[in-house]
Structure formats: structure tokens, C-alpha cells
Amino acid sequence: MLDMTPKDITERSALRINPAKTCQPIGAMYASLGIHNCLPHSHGSQGCCSYHRSHLTRHYKEPVVASTSSFTEGAAVFGGGPNLRQSLKTIFQVYKPDVVAVHTTCLSETIGDDIPSIVRKAQEDGIVPNGKFVIHANTPSYVGSNVTGFSNMVKAMVDYFSSRDFGKSTDVNVIPGYVDPADMREMKRMLAELGLTATVFPDTSDVLDSPMSGSYEMFPKGGVTTEQLMKTGSASMTLALGAFASESAAMSLESKCGVPFTVMDLPIGIRSTDRFVKSLLDLTGQIKPVASMIEDRGRALDMMTDMQHYLYGKKVGLYGDPDQVIAMADFLISAGMRPVYVITGTPGKRFEDKVKTLLGNEACRCVVKSSADLFYLHQLIKSDPVDLIIGNTYGKYIARAEDIPFVRYGFPILDRVGHGFFPTFGYRGSIYLLTNIVNTLLDRIDRDSPEERFELVM
């Protein structure tokens, strides 16, 4: 399918081929699902909402609910205010959510709909019931990426809900970044093990990985509540995991409520998790982590050491969302591997600066690029092949064309199952990632081994 990709690289400033990202509304919709009893609302055409819902559904293998303003030609000419008013009226009468989280699309942004004014008028007219909330984030698809949309919606949670009115507490806020429900669940487990009372927001655990109960629940039990969101303004500090997805909300919370924050990499891999755990220990005053956490770390280190002869020196092409790619690059380096191509579709020069800092002296031998696409990555790999490709589902075409082992990681993963149930966070997540990487390399060894080298025990 990609056999005609040329090796010669031409600089492209206005064209993206196979983007290494998805659009803002998808990230905003995902963040909205992390609020308890919240209905995401797409202010645009029906087709946009259908695409965003289906993309999330295919990744999580769970039904994703969302409503839409259902723009037609009339809304495109005269504005979508009447559509949004009618939508809110129907939503609160029929579905009865606690929160409607409105995100814009290309069309409503191009028209210039003033969402706060439309919502304010709807509240004054009694369309929004007392005790119910409507929040919004501006998320045009022609700017940023799914990570940008996630960041904007999490910031909206702070702007609309966070309050100083609850006094000062010793609780901690954790903004987990654009990660799967299993990572948020593992995050909460680690916080609880260290005895910390924390609010994780947004929180999609028990929303997009809820168990089968035999009856349909439009709003599953999971998600951060509006009361918890309001109390984030009284916390002692905020840990923002992943600068691209979480820093904006943490900055807004500090500006609005005076809650200090620390930005850290996602705790993916042993080194990054060590830094995260140390920050938590500083908060609790403990000298060392609990025994079970030390044991998890030891198991991850043991596996990394045992498998070093399969990992060391392997060249890797890595792509995806910036926060996850940065954390994975750090993990690969610590495992003795060599990330030689590291790209993201999300714009931002600090991605390049961060990755080059991680690479150190190896930076001169690596291509690091933001606002890049998979066509560019394919050209690089055709010119100088790698031993392994790591990224979301869309990389499978490059892997097949160039006959290179492929590990699925990040968002979206559309052609495999189970990824939403196994964390990449923490020491346990490190074991899962190592298992995935090593087994993929071993599969290739088995496939390529001649008869006399086809071993039973690797």
C-alpha cells in the first residue's frame, strides 16, 4: 500500500500526509467523559460528532455517548445558537446529566459562535435547570491536536468549577494527562498505597472500562464529581503529568485559586516513575515507598536486566502524542535501546527540546520533530531502517511495507483489544510494556530463524 513512498525528503510546510495526531474535539470529548454524569456535546455537524464518538469507541471497545447541535446549512449561515439552545433543552429533559460539556468544531469556530453568551441566555431562560452545569472549551480541528483539545477541556473544568470557598486542605490534585482508564486506575492505586488523599481529574476509569452488569447505564459510576472538582481549588498542590495535556489546567488553577503546581513527565518507565514516587514521598514526608511498590520496581528491573541481550542497541522509530512519546523515549533509553526517529503530530518546539535533552550525546544521531506526519517517518525508515516501530495503529502500514516488528502504543489503537485494561503507568506498567516489546522482538526472531536455530527456549 505504501510501496510508492519516496526516500527523498522534501520540506512541506502546508501539507500533512497521514498525520501523527487526531483532532481537538476527540481529546475534549474524552476529557469530558472523565466527569461523573457528564454528557459531552459537540457543537457542530452530526458527522463530526459521529466521527469523534466512533474513534473513541473503536479504541476503548466501549459505547461512547455524546450529543450534537446537528448543524445544517441554516446554522452554517445564521449561527448555531438556536441549535445549541434546543439541544440543551432536550438533553436536560431526556437524559438528565449533571454536566453538559460543550466543545466546538471547525464549523462553529469559523462561524464565530459565542458559546458563553448562548449558555448564559439559556440559563436565564430556565433551559438549564438549577443545580446543573454547562461548561465549554474552544476546540477547532484546524489548530493543535487531540492533546490540545484534552488540555483545553481540562482547563475548562478548572475555570468553571474550581473554588477557594472550601478552605485549605492537605489533599492533592493529580491531572493524569491523556492516558487510558487503566493508567488512571493505577495512578489512584499508587496514591492510595502511599496514603495520599487525592483528586484525579479527569478520571475515565469505571467509565470506559466499566464491567458488564446486565443493564445499560448511560452514565457509569466512574468519573470525578462536580463537588470534587470544586474542591480542587482548596488543595495543597497539583501534580500535572505531561506538560502538553496537563500544564494549562494546572496554571489556570494556580492563577484562579493559588494552588501551586509541579509539572512532571508521565510516570512511564522506571526512571520517570521513580521521580513521580519521590514527589509523592516528599508530600507525605515518608522516607521510602511501601513494600509492595519496592517489590514492583524490583520485578520491573529484574525483567529489564534479564532481557537486556534482546533490547540493547535496538534502533526504534517512535511516534504519537507528545507526552507519551517523551515518556516512552526515556524508558527506551533506560532499557538500552536507541530511539533514532522520534516524532509527534502535535505542534510545539519544546517537544524537540525535551527529547534532545533526554537523548544527550545521542541527540545528534536522532531525528526529533514536532508537527510531523507518518509519511515523513516512512521516508526516514526507508532511508535507514529500524529494528522496531512503536506507536498507534496507523503505523501498521509502515511496519508491513518495510517488514519491521511493530508494538502498538498510545492513542488510537483500533485493531487490537485489551490495551485499555493494562496500565503503562508505574512499575507495573513498565512490566507490561517490557513484555510487549520483548515478545514482539522474540516473535520476529522465531519467524526469521532457520530450522537449525529455531529454539524452544529463548
DSSP per-residue codes, 274-287: HHHHHHHHHHHT-S
Indicate the burial class of 290 (C-beta count within 10 angstroms; 0-12, 13-18, 19 or more). middle
pLDDT of residue 104: 96
Global pTM reads 0.95
Are 307 and 439 in contact, with CB atoms under 8 Å apart? no
CATH class of 24-161: alpha beta
The chain-wide mean pLDDT, for the chain, equals 94
Separation of alpha carbons 139 and 188, rounded Å = 29
Of 441, 405, 411, 439, the C-alpha closest to 424 is 411
Are 227 and 133 in contact, with CB atoms under 8 Å apart? no
Please state the length of the chain: 458
Average pLDDT over residues 269-293: 89
| 3-state secondary structure (DSSP) of residue 267 | coil
C-alpha cell of residue 99: 454536566
Q: Which fold has domain 293-453?
A: Rossmann fold (3.40.50)
Domain boundaries, the chain: 24-161, 172-266, 293-453
- Each residue of 354-377: pLDDT tens digit? 999 999 988 889 999 999 999 999
Are 34 and 202 in contact, with CB atoms under 8 Å apart? yes
Separation of alpha carbons 125 and 82, rounded Å = 13
Average pLDDT over residues 223-230: 97
Pick the CATH number of 172-266 from 3.40.50.1980, 3.40.50.2300, 2.40.40.20, 3.60.21.10: 3.40.50.1980
Separation of alpha carbons 44 and 252, rounded Å = 27
pLDDT of residue 56: 96
Torsional sign, CA 393, 398, 400, 404? negative
pLDDT of residue 455: 85
pLDDT of residue 1: 61
- Each residue of 312-341: pLDDT tens digit? 999 999 999 999 999 999 999 999 999 999
- Which amino acid does the sequence have at 89? K
84 φ/ψ angles, rounded to the nearest 5 degrees: -70, -40
* Out of 7-16, 167-176, 390-399, 419-428, least confident range: 7-16
**C-alpha count within 13 angstroms, C-beta hemisphere, residue 30:** 32
